[in-house]
Amino acid sequence: MLRILSVFTLLISSFFFSQAKLNLIPYPQKIEFQTGEFIIPKILLLHPNLPKEETEYFKKRLSSSLKFKNTKKGNSQLLYFQLAKSDSKNKNDEFYSLKISSDKIVIESYTNQGYFLAIQTLIQLFETHKNGKIPSLKIDDQPKFSWRGMHLDVCRHFFTVEEVKKYIDYLAMYKLNTFHWHLTDDQGWRIEIKKYPKLTDISSKRKQSMIGAYVENTFDGKPYGPYFYTQDQIKEVIQYAQDRHITVVPEIEMPGHALAALSAYPELACTTGPFEAATKWGVFDDVFCPKDETFTFLENVLDEVMQLFPSQYIHIGGDECPKTRWKECAHCQGLIKKNNLKDEHGLQSYFIQRIEKYVNSKGRKIIGWDEILEGGLAPNAAVMSWTGIKGGIEAAKTSHFAVMTPGAYCYFDHYQGDPQTEPNAFGGFTPLDKVYSYNPIPAELNAEQAKYILGVQANLWTEYILDFKQVEYMIFPRLFALSEVGWGTSNPENYKKFEDRVVEHFKILDKMNINYAKSIYNINGKVIPRVGGVSYRLSTSQKPEGIRFTADGSIPTANSQTYDVPIPVSQTMTIKSAYFEGGLKSAVSTQEFTTSKTTGKNITLEQQPSENYSFGGAFTLVDGIIGNVKQLGKMWLGFQGKDVVAIIDLDEKTKFSEVYFNTLENIGSWIHLAKSAQVFISDDGIDFKQIKEIGKNEIQSSKGKVKLNVGNQTSKYIKIKIENAGTIPVGNPGADSKAWLFVDEIGAN
C-alpha cells in the first residue's frame, strides 16, 4: 500500500533553489530541486490522519523551535491522507518520497517505517535551514543496505536504561536501523535470566577494573557492579527502539568470553574452577565446555532471550575462543572422536551448529563473529565479519548472509585523531575520512554474491569508555560517516563536501548537549617521502592559513611560523602545530622525529600487515616516527601469524654499523615479541648475505627496543627478517591461536 501522508503549510515564492545546498546526513539517493521555497511558519498544521506515534516523535524533536496544530476535517487548505494500492514488485519498506512545495509538504511511503525515515529528513531540513526557508524539492529515497547497525558493549562498562535509549535515539536520527546489544562477556553478565538468578547475583559484578593503557597492567581497586538489566527494563528498551523502527539484536557470547557466567556456574567449564569475572581486558582460556548440561543451560538462557527479543537474528558471539581447555579435557576429546571431528576447531563448529539447530527450531536465526567459520559454518548462520573482510567474502561465496564490520573501518573504540591529543583508547586509528571511505561490498564478490551482504555495522567496545559522555565522543562524528556508507550515498571523492555537512550537524549536537570529538578541527599530520628524506604535511578541515607550527619543540602561538608547504625533516626534531582563528586555538599536535639512514627510503614487504593495523603501509616503518608503546594508534604495523620481511633500498652504497627496530609485547592481547631477527645486506637487491642474527632472549632483554651491532658495513640494500612468535603456547591468553607481531621503525646508523 502506498501511503500519502502530509505535513504542510503556507506561502508561494519564486526563489529558485536549483543550486541549493542541503545539509542532510545521510544524503538522499535522488533530489530534484524545483522553483520556489517553503517558508517555515510559526505554527505548523498537521493532518489528523498522520501516523500518530511517528508524528508525536516529530513534534517532540521540533517542539523548541515550532508549534503545532492539528486541523479539523474539511479544512480546504489541508491535503488528505489515504492508503493507495501499489503494483511495485520491488517496493522497499524503507522507501519514502518527500515533496516540498511553497504551500505544503507531502510524504509518501509504503509503511510507517518509511514515513519515519522521511520525518528524519524533514527534521534535518528544519534544523539546518537558512533564513527560515526550505527549497521546494522532491526527494525519492531508500537505503542500499537493509542492515545499518551500531553495537554497544555494556559488559566492560555498564550504561543505564536512559543512556541506552539516548544511544537508540542517535541511531534513529541518522537512519540506522539495528542496535546490537552486547550483553554478556568475561567482565560481566548484564541480562536477568530468571531461571539462573546467580547470573545477576554473582556474574554481574567484578572485584575491580583495569585502568590506563593495557601495558601498564594497573587496576582501580574498586568493586564494579552489580550492574544488569531486568527483564522489564529489557522490554522497555525494545519497545523504545521499536517505536523508532530499530531492531534490537541481543548478543549472548559462547563458547568463549564466558568467565562471568562460569563464576556463577563453574560446572559448565572443563575444569573445576573456581572462576571470577575478569578484571582485565583480553581473552581467557576458560570457556564453556560442550557437554549436555552446558547446552541445557544455554538453551534455557536463549529461551528467555528469545521471549524478550523479537529480532529475527540472535547473536551468539563465537569469537576468540581459545582451545586450550578443550585440548586438555577428556570429555571434549571424546566428543571429537565420537563425532569424527577433525580437531578442536571442528568441535567449535559442532558447538555452534548444535546451538543453531535449537535457535532455528524456535523460528529464529543465528549470527556470529567470523570465527564461527572455523571448522565449517552452520547451515543457516549469518556472519559478522570483524577481523577483516575475508569472513564476509567466504560467507557470501557460500550463500550465507554477512554483515560487514571490519575493525580497520568500523571499530569506534579506535583513535579518531592524533593519539597524543585524544583520550586513551583501545588502539588502532580510524578517523572520520577512513570510515567514510569504506565500501561494504568486497571487490572479490560478483553481483549475485554481493546480494548476501546485508549491510554494515560499527562496533563500540568499552574497555576504555568509562561513562556515556565518552560513548558520545567516540561515536560522533563517525556515526555520520557510517550512516552515509550504510545508506549507499557515500563518495570518498566528495569527502570535503561531506565534512562541510558534518560541521553543520555539529550545531545540532550542540543544541542537544551531545558530546562529540572535534578531531577534524585539529591538525592532521602526515609523513610523505621526499628526495633525501621525508617531509611532514599538515592539514585541517579549516582554512590552511590558520595553521602555525614550530620545529624546535616549543609551543606554537598565533605569531609562530605560518604553514604553507610540507616541512622538511632532515634531522631528529620535534614539530608542534595548532590551528588559530579569531582568538581560538585547537589542541596542540606534537610529532617527534628520529631520523636515520633508512628514513624516507623505499621499502617493500614480502607479506602485508593485517588490515586492522596497516595504516600508512610499509612506509610507516621508515617514516622517522618511533611508535608509542602505550598506544597502538597509527604508528605500528600489526601482523598476525606472519613474519616481517622488509627490504630497504638506501639509494646508494651506504655505510652503517647499527640496525634497529621496535616491537611490542602485550600478551593479554595476543601480542608477543619476535622469536628471532636476522639482518642481510646486498648490493643488487637479489643476492643477500646474512650479517647478524639474534634470538628471543636478546629481544626480550631489550624490551622490544632492539638495537643490533652489525659491525662496519657498506651496502645499497638492507633486508631484515623479524620472526613471528608463531602459535601462542599453552598457559597464555589465546593459546593455540596465531600470535600478533607489532613492529615499527626500522632504522640504520
Integer Cα distance of 406 and 453 in angstroms = 13
Integer Cα distance of 455 and 473 in angstroms = 24
List, as one string, the DSSP characters of 430-477: --HHHHHT--SS-TTS-HHHHTTEEEEEEB---TT--SHHHHHHHHTT
- In 3D, which of 306, 302, 301 has the Cα closest to residue 197? 301
H/E run at residue 498: helix 495-511
**To the nearest 10°, the Cα dihedral for 370, 264, 468, 311?**
50
Integer Cα distance of 480 and 173 in angstroms = 10
Integer Cα distance of 93 and 600 in angstroms = 53
Sign of CA dihedral 527, 529, 532, 535: negative
- In 3D, which of 662, 636, 157 has the Cα closest to residue 429? 636
Query: Cα dist. 415→344, 408, 561, 637 in Å?
Result: 35, 11, 28, 15
Amino acid type, 475: I
CA angle 248, 253, 258 (to 5 degrees): 145
Burial class (CB in 10 A: 0-12, 13-18, 19+), 75: exposed
Q: Are 141 and 38 in contact (CB under 8 A)?
A: no
313-317 and 365-369 beta bridge pairing: parallel
**To the nearest 10°, the Cα dihedral for 491, 494, 498, 503?**
160
Integer Cα distance of 240 and 237 in angstroms = 5
The grid cell for 499 is 565534512
Integer Cα distance of 127 and 490 in angstroms = 22
Residues linked to residue 130 through DSSP beta bridges, in sequence order: 133
- In 3D, which of 139, 124, 116, 144 has the Cα closest to residue 57? 116
Those residues whose C-beta lies under 8 Å from the C-beta of residue 363, and which sit 6 or more positions away, are none
- Cis-peptide, bond into residue 26, ω within 30° of zero: yes
Catalytic residues: 185, 257, 320
Q: Where are the alpha helices (DSSP H) in 309-441?
A: 324-328, 330-338, 344-361, 390-397, 407-410, 432-436
Q: Are 516 and 468 in contact (CB under 8 A)?
A: no
Q: Looking only at Cα atoms, what is the longest distance across the chain?
A: 97
Q: Are 480 and 431 in contact (CB under 8 A)?
A: no
Integer Cα distance of 171 and 147 in angstroms = 12
DSSP 229: B
Q: How many residues belong to the chain? A: 749
Q: Are 529 and 618 in contact (CB under 8 A)?
A: no
Q: Are 221 and 206 in contact (CB under 8 A)?
A: no
